[in-house]
Chains A and B, each alone.
Chain A
Amino acid sequence: MTAPTASDLAAAALATPAAPSEADTADAIAQLADVAGHASTVLFNWRRDNPAAADVDRALNLEMTLDQRAIDLRCKAVKLLGAQAADAVAQIQDAAQKVDAFLGTVKKIGDRLAIASAVVGLAGAALVGDAGGVLQAVVSVHGALKAAQA
């Protein structure tokens, strides 16, 4: 078996699939990048191991082209991932903000609860021996809380 020339390697590299369309998935584009990157590496190692080969300049040019293609395709894959996941990223970041807003609201509720708890405390002390009075005061806390949360 004869050793492959730069032309053989170039032909193999160029036989890789055509440039991806917008419909291709990020994974498919990343796979194309791998093909281009691998072909570039093969050419690099061939050139380094065969410095006296006649078509070494051609190998270098093609290697650089494929190397740049791999970079561009990886960049495209990440951008596509970003576009595909943009809504999901926005949604879970929005969820995080809603939690912050909710916990902020809880603190505001706390201010209003201060009044309600005072009612309970005073009613509980004033209505000594009146079981219904204490329970009524608890109900008033529920009411105050619901009003504050509304």
Chain B
Amino acid sequence: MSTRSRAARPLAALALALLGGCAAQMQPVADFGAASSHLATVYKPFTSGLAASCEQRERYMALGNPGTFDDAAADRAAAGKCQVLREAGTTAALFGQALADYAGALAKLSGAKPTAFDGEIKDLSGAAEGLARRDGTPIFDSSKLGAATKIARAAVAMLTQARIETLKRSTLEDNQEALRSVVEAMKSYAGKVYAGQLTDTREVMRGELGRLVAASTAPTQADVEARLPWRWAQTAARADIAANELEARRVRAFDKSADALLAAHADLIANFDKIGGARRLELVAAFVAQVQAINDDAAAL
């Protein structure tokens, strides 16, 4: 073994070991990015749901008003009255978009490969190997060339990885407070504004369902035929109420998930050097699964 090879091996081994340590830190940040992205996805329907729920309430109320009734006209009137909430929903959507962007940035950082330049290094190494003297013997010893490029690759990766790690940590630290503000805004929107609208709409629908049930009572067999419209209408009203309750459950689950996400972010910063301790990510994953289960309920409706 040459002196050069003996000198190169420990350095390459050290470089690769350090790289392995850095890679181990990637996964929790990647997990966090994915959990944030899921949460933003769960939140998104809430933003259009505010105006939709308002319109539904207005349509139900219109059913109970005196005077002429035109279904299409009632729809248009409801849309007009709730238009300001549609615009407000656009503002609320910005919070979720910001969270999604942040999640995407963390995912990109976590997925950045320190060996991104492997191809170029290998190409150059291959070109050098191809150079030959006039007699056809290679100018460069391919095994030694291979060792040198291996060290070069490790050195490049170490420095690039260090930069990515530094950026990842500073990204987490610098944006902790901003993330908290954005997530709190999302929680307020979902848990206070949207939940309140859902409740108002649900109470009107429940009142109407009660009256449909009362109107469905037929004292005699001869009265049944005339009560059929009220009896049939109950199904649609119950479905609307069930959908409303399902959405309210989603909102409550979101609130818990958002708290867990903030705790996980703080944990990521606190335990960045011993990142395996970010156990709260498991909570985020559990809540995301809970929301997913609720969505599955919805699909079964």
Chain A residues close to B by CB (< 8 Å): 26-27, 30-31, 33-34, 37-38, 40-41, 44-45, 47-49, 60, 67-68, 70-72, 74-75, 77-79, 81-82, 84-85, 87-89, 91-93, 95-96, 98-100, 102-103, 106-107, 109-110, 113-114, 116-118, 120-131, 133-135, 137-138, 141-142, 145-146, 149
Contacts and interface: CB of A to CB of B under 8 A. Distances in A.
10 contacts: A44-B61, A48-B208, A67-B61, A78-B88, A87-B178, A92-B182, A131-B3, A131-B8, A134-B7, A138-B155
Interface stretch (B17-25, B93-101, B240-248, B292-300): B93-101
Label chain A's interface by main secondary structure. Answer: helix
A118 B128 CA distance: 9
A141 B128 contact: no
Interface string B88-121: 1101101101110110111011001000110011
Interface string B167-210: 10001001101111110110011001100110110011001100
Contact of A126 (B87, B116, B140, B156): B140
Nearest to A84: B185
Nearest to A88: B181
A121 B152 contact: yes
Contacts of B64: 44, 47-48
Q: From A31, A78, A106, A127, name the one whose CB has the most chain B CB atoms within 10 angstroms.
A: A78
A27 to B, nearest CB: 5
Contacts of A126: 140
B84 A72 contact: yes
Given A81-B188, A87-B178, 5 more contacts: A71-B81, A92-B182, A106-B116, A122-B140, A141-B152
Label chain B's interface by main secondary structure. Answer: helix
A113 B163 CA distance: 15
Nearest to B111: A103
B2 A85 contact: no
Q: Which 5 A-B pairs have the closest CB atoms?
A: A124-B148, A125-B140, A88-B181, A78-B88, A37-B200
A74 B7 contact: no
Given A125-B140, A125-B141, A117 B92 contact: no
Contact of A134 (B4, B153, B182): B4
A146 B163 CA distance: 11
B144 interface: yes
